[in-house]
Structure 1
Amino acid sequence: MKTKLATLSLSLLVAIFAACKSQNPATVSSQQPDTTATGTPDRHTATSPPPTLTSTKPATPAVDDQQDTPTPELLTVKLTQYDLSATLNYPRHHLAVDEQIAYTNQSGEPISDLLLIIEPARYPGVFQLNSLSWSDGQPILDYTRDLGLLRIPLVEPLPPGEELGISLSYDLNLPSPSPSYYGRPVPFGYSSRQTNLVDWYPFIPPYVPGEGWVAHRAGPFGEHLVYEVADFEVKIQLSDSNPNLVIAACAPAEIANDVYRYQFKGARNFSWSVSDQYILSTTTVASVAVLSYYFPVNTVAGEAVLQTTAEALELYNDLFGPYPRKTLTVVEADFLDGM
């Protein structure tokens, strides 16, 4: 079986969609993100799990479908909150987003500026900022942008434990990066079979006292992003009427009036994937729903991945205690990576 799986080269978004990390094949064009800064910054004034159940037309899991599971221990500090409303035009590969961030200074020292990491801005022609304002509606004019970073100076330093809010509106014209063995795997963009949204929204990185913001430049390979634990409220609407479109996300959805609403608390980020070709296999381990989304050509591998993930979850529960989420999701993806 290991040989067969290796031959299939199943590329996985292991969101075990814990790609939304909790606390502790054809493509149209070739597009790769910039990795080095050029020019002048732009300044603006175990045991076997139960049998699996397979469906050829999976529905996005709803909150009511999940059983209660142990939740992470509540933190005493108020977390930064992200509220995102996104509308995806799947055939046109376009995403329109309104975002509100309620940032809490957890660093222990006053902060004199605010840094946003905008990964989509590293791709040419992908990120278009339409508006940027404070939570009271006052436009933010004094900011600088430089290769995926946006820095906002504060009139007065933000004291520890205090909060400020900003609002953004932007469009993403999604890229179609070609698979390559010689460059960074790109889990952001679309292929002929799916759209992957990983690190798709501006976010505020951790701040280390005495050092500043943790914002690393991307290299040819390896991880470079660091996330602060935050709460997420995400609303997604699909403008396309294709009934076969399925959203695979890192949390279960509440669905009302064609809007998918996700609440994901105490998490590092929020990732999701969309396709009209997904097959879904599911099982349950200790009341946690385990989901495997895969393409029809890889049915055997997709079901094997489900079995392996369920066994890994059982081992996790034995070693570390109950898994603190309602779902654990694995998604087959068209980008080359060893996840």
Structure 2
Amino acid sequence: MTKVDAPPAYEEALHSPKYGNFPEQPQYGFAAPPPPAYSPSPGVCPGQPGRWGQASAYPQAGMREGPGFPPSGMPTIIPTLSGGVPPSNPGDMDDFLSSQWEHTSVRHAFIRKVYLILAAQLSVTISIVAVFTFVEPVRVFVIRNPAIYWTSFAVYFVVYCVLVCCKEPRRRFPWNLLLLSIFTLAMSFLTGTIASYYDTKAVFIAIGITAVVCVAVTIFCFQTKVDFTSCGGLLCILAVLLMIIGMVTTIVLCFQYVPWLHMLYAALGAIVYTLFLAYNTQLLIGNRELAISPEEYVYGALSLYIDIVQMFLFILQICGAATD
């Protein structure tokens, strides 16, 4: 091999342009290791043809892959199940649990407040019904003066519209309780007036049946997975049907008493208000599709109170007809 045919030195081939197209010489013996890493000169980009007509991208030192390991110069990525979401911080989990606990405690306090108000309302109503039923002079006076019934009905309707249309914020706390007290007295006088027309035995039976049904429905709503709050459309249809049957019953009974029509209306009314009681009870729980705000405790107590009293009145009609 002459000096002209000998391959150029590494530095000469890199910096001297006259050796740019030197032909590749055959290798003899063992293959020489690749040249060490170097920084390409300006105008020579890694992965692009260099001055020798070849790609001048050589693996850097320490970048050779080993069996089962990534290159040592590359960052190690460990796959996780987070699907691109960074792992949760223990502090975030603590905040989530504390917020859940706070929400549950607020809901429990709201339920206790609603049932305390409801217990006070039912106590007043039962007391007035007992006076109108057991005290004979009061009973006779109420029967002879139907204006008490119509006055209490008018007050009941007006106050109910005010309470429903003006749902309370906290700053209206005294006014809502005052309106609720007026509503409870009006509803109690209305219920006592109706109960004065029935026998004492029928009133006792109706109170007992209503109490058993209310306790059973409340326990069922707290334990079941059935969501009554998603059945608002069905309850609306039943309420319209009850109103139509009530109007027909009122017109028919003005001319002639039809026992089966009266019993049908009373039974349908008791069933509809039992379903409304389940619906409003699950609105209080808060773990269903729909729920009411913890600040609307007056509205919650009002809904349950109306359901229970209306259920009692329909059951009283059935018991009164049965005892007669």
Q: Which TM-score tier does this pair reach, normalised by the shorter chain?
A: under 0.3
TM-score by length of 2: 0.22
TM-score by length of 1: 0.22
Structure having the larger proportion of residues in strand: 1
Structure having the larger proportion of residues in helix: 2
Higher-Rg member (1/2): 2
